[in-house]
């Protein structure tokens, strides 16, 4: 529908109050998306008074750093992280990374999962498309996770990284706030297997290439 300027003027305050109403709802209420339609792009993490992470805005407009793909069809029908993993870093931390080659206090990394296209799939879940046979991202998102480094807020987390997850399910709606996961659920695997400061640098060519410092 095309809305002329007069109507837009009338509708804006209404949209604003609906947004406020949505944000005031309980933690399970879906209230965020990462799309360009969002008004802001978060550069720093924000928290509720009782210590929950307010799901950062606009992560799809952060700097993209890499895309591991683990199709269900190659993982016994149920990949631990289904299926396409799009990883981003917040813009301020990206600038810091390019200068110093380190993750600043407050670094936020996002990993958003999405399902692959399944129509006409072979047994391994792949499909043939214009560019060849392979795995193609669908428009069904299946989870959102954040890793946040902060020695003041997370003095007891190994590496001072805390981890947040919506869980994984096709079409999952994202909550307005998130609760930190216990270290053994997330942090331990990162500590042992990730190649640079708990981060899986080995899979992020964009970060590797831009690493600053000496
Ligand atoms: C079994 C090992 C393992 C566990 C457990 C694990 N991860 Fe990860 N995580 C990975 C790997 C491998 C990557 C690299 C990207 C990819 O392949 O998805 C990653 C990447 C990430 C990233 C992107 C930034 C980075 O550090 O590389 C976030 C955010 C993340 N994981 C959050 C979580 C959360 C939240 C949990 C707990 C609910 C968790 N992870 C548990 C293996 C793990």
**Residue 22 and residue 39 in one domain:** no
Per the structure, the count of domains in the chain is 2
Q: Which atom of ligand 1 is nearest to the CA of 188?
A: 5
**Residue 61 and residue 3 in one domain:** no
- The DSSP result for 77-142, as a single string, is T--SS-SEEEEEE-HHHHHHHHHHSSPPTT-EEEEEEEEEP-TT--TTS-EEETTEEE--EEEEEE
**Residue 85 and residue 107 in one domain:** yes
Pocket test for ligand 1, best of 93, 97, 111 (most atoms within 8 A of CB): 111
User: What is the rounded CA–CA span in Å between residue 100 and residue 194?
Assistant: 19
**Residue 47 and residue 23 in one domain:** no
Instruction: Report pLDDT for 160.
Output: 97
**Residue 23 and residue 72 in one domain:** no
CA contacts within 13 A on the Cβ side of 189 = 8
For the whole prediction, is pTM greater than 0.85?
yes
Chain-wide mean pLDDT for the chain? 88
Q: Which CATH number covers residue 170?
A: 3.50.70.20
pLDDT one-digit tens code per residue, 50-86: 999 999 999 999 999 999 999 999 999 999 999 999 9
**Cβ partners under 8 Å of residue 14, min gap 6:** none
Q: Is 145 in the pocket of ligand 1 (CB under 6 A)?
A: yes
Q: For residue 126, what are the CA distances in angstroms to 8, 87, 115? A: 45, 22, 12
User: What is the rounded CA–CA span in Å between residue 182 and residue 186?
Assistant: 7
**Residue 23 and residue 46 in one domain:** no
**Residue 42 and residue 22 in one domain:** no
Q: How many CB atoms lie within 10 A of CB 37?
A: 7
**Residue 125 and residue 189 in one domain:** yes
User: What is the rounded CA–CA span in Å between residue 92 and residue 201?
Assistant: 18
**Residue 10 and residue 107 in one domain:** no
**Residue 166 and residue 189 in one domain:** yes
User: What is the rounded CA–CA span in Å between residue 144 and residue 168?
Assistant: 8
Q: Is 202 in the pocket of ligand 1 (CB under 6 A)?
A: no
pLDDT one-digit tens code per residue, 41-58: 999 999 999 999 999 999
User: Residue holding tokens 């805005």?
Assistant: 57
Say if residue 10's pLDDT is above 90. Answer: no
Q: Is 164 in the pocket of ligand 1 (CB under 6 A)?
A: yes
- Domain encompassing residue 12: 1-27
Q: Is 165 in the pocket of ligand 1 (CB under 6 A)?
A: yes
Q: Which pLDDT band holds residue 32 (cuts at 50, 70, 90)?
A: confident
**Residue 36 and residue 23 in one domain:** no
Q: How much distance in Å is there from the Cα of 176 to the middle of ligand 1?
A: 21
Pocket test for ligand 1, best of 55, 74, 114, 145 (most atoms within 8 A of CB): 145
**Residue 106 and residue 151 in one domain:** yes
User: Residue holding tokens 């810091």?
Assistant: 96
pLDDT one-digit tens code per residue, 111-141: 999 999 999 999 999 999 999 999 999 999 9
Lowest mean pLDDT among 4-18, 57-71, 93-107, 140-154: 4-18
């Amino acid at each position: 529908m095309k809305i002329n300027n007069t109507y837009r003027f009338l509708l804006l305050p209404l949209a604003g109050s609906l947004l406020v109403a949505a944000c005031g709802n309980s933690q399970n209420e879906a209230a965020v998306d990462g799309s360009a339609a969002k008004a802001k792009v978060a550069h720093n993490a924000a928290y509720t008074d009782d210590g929950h992470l307010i799901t950062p805005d606009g992560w799809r407009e952060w700097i993209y750093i890499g895309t591991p793909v683990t199709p269900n069809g190659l993982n016994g029908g149920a990949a631990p992280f289904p299926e396409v993993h799009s990883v981003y870093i917040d813009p301020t931390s990206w600038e810091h990374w390019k200068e110093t080659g380190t993750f600043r206090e407050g670094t936020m990394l996002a990993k958003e999962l999405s399902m692959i296209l399944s129509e006409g799939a072979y047994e391994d879940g792949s499909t043939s498309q214009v560019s060849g046979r392979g795995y193609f991202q669908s428009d069904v998102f299946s989870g959102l996770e954040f890793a946040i480094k902060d020695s003041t807020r997370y003095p007891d987390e190994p590496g001072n990284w805390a981890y947040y997850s919506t869980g994984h399910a096709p079409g999952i709606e994202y909550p307005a706030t998130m609760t930190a996961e216990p270290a053994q659920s997330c942090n331990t695997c990162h500590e042992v297997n990730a190649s640079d400061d708990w981060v899986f640098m080995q899979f992020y060519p964009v970060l590797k290439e831009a690493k600053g410092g000496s």
